[in-house]
């Protein structure tokens, strides 16, 4: 039987590219998105690749939508071999300026949505004694950087959950893998992240301007690399627990491992202010000494 792969967040970015790639390798791909009015780009990509996709509605934060989607896939295809938890969004700005409602919203999508969707899929995987759960995490789920404290927190939660769950479900032949992308140029890019008050003015402006200047040239990596990794892991019998992707992710993890958090924090505080545009340096006070 064909491998059945369920992917969330397929209207754009990694999800769209991975759905087409997996279908080209012969899988039955159930490509889902919150709003089916946004399926035009996915349909065009599938047509260009000469593949067919089973496109369905799925809002990962809606319990009824999750239940209906999983039940429908199992009814129509009989199994789910791979679940790719890809749906998510980002927030840029200092933690102090992020409203509580948005903090809860990002966890509802990036963590709870993925967790509850997985909960619905696991019984079928256990019954079949096989399956793979692929969680699209981030390098920032293992090492945090300024301006992404809220987004990083949601991905740290994904990493911790995935690591522990892998021990639990491994007894039933189910594997768990975290894909950890660095910065990629997709619709889910630095420019499209939610922003908040005092990101461009106020006490954090100097630091946020430096982060933006530092990150901007990084957002040139191809999202195809992430899609290829998702596809490879979807067809591997024993995928690794973590797949870091990108020079920035690898550099950040190396620095955290070999320099330690204290030295990494000192380097960040010493270098970032020098990267801020002149206007931001002159209009905001310098941060206190460490």
Contacts of 127 (CB under 8 A, 6+ apart): none
Residue 168 CB coordination number (10 Å): 11
Given a contact cutoff of 8 angstroms between Cβ atoms, the answer to whether 73 and 4 are in contact is: yes
| CA distances in angstroms from 44 to 20, 39, 48, 98, 150, listed in the order given | 10, 9, 6, 37, 34
Angle at 202 between CA 280 and CA 147, to 5 degrees: 80
The active-site residue, picked from 151, 156, 188, 204, is 151
Burial class (CB in 10 A: 0-12, 13-18, 19+), 70: buried
Q: Is 151 labeled as catalytic in the residue annotation?
A: yes
| Distance in angstroms (rounded) separating the CA atoms of residues 272 and 192 | 22
In this structure, what DSSP letter does residue 51 have?
-
- Give catalytic residue positions: 151
């Amino acid at each position: 039987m064909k491998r059945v792969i369920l992917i969330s967040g397929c209207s754009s970015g990694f999800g769209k590219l991975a759905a087409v790639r997996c279908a080209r390798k012969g899988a039955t791909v159930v490509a889902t998105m919150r709003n089916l009015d946004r399926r035009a780009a996915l349909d065009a990509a599938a047509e260009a690749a000469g593949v067919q996709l089973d496109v369905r509605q799925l809002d990962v934060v809606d319990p009824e939508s999750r239940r209906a989607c999983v039940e429908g896939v199992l009814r129509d295809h009989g199994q789910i071999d791979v679940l790719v938890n890809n749906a998510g969004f980002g927030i840029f700005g200092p933690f102090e300026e992020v409203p509580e409602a948005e903090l809860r919203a990002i966890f509802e999508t990036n963590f709870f949505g993925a967790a509850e969707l997985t909960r619905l899929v696991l019984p079928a995987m256990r019954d079949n004694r096989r399956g793979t759960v692929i969680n699209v995490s981030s390098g920032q789920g293992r090492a945090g950087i300024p301006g992404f404290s809220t987004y990083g927190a949601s991905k740290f939660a994904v990493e911790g959950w995935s690591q522990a769950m892998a021990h639990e479900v491994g007894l039933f032949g189910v594997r768990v893998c975290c894909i950890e992308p660095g910065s990629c140029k997709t619709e889910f890019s630095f420019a499209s992240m939610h922003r908040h008050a005092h990101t461009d003015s106020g006490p954090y402006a100097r630091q946020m301007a430096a982060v933006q200047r530092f990150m901007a040239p990084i957002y040139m990596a191809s999202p195809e690399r992430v899609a290829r990794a998702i596809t490879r892991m979807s067809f591997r019998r024993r995928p690794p627990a973590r797949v870091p992707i990108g020079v920035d992710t690898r550099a950040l993890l190396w620095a955290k491992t070999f320099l330690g958090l204290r030295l990494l924090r000192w380097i960040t505080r010493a270098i970032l202010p020098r990267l801020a545009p002149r206007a931001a340096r002159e209009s905001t006070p310098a941060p206190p000494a460490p």
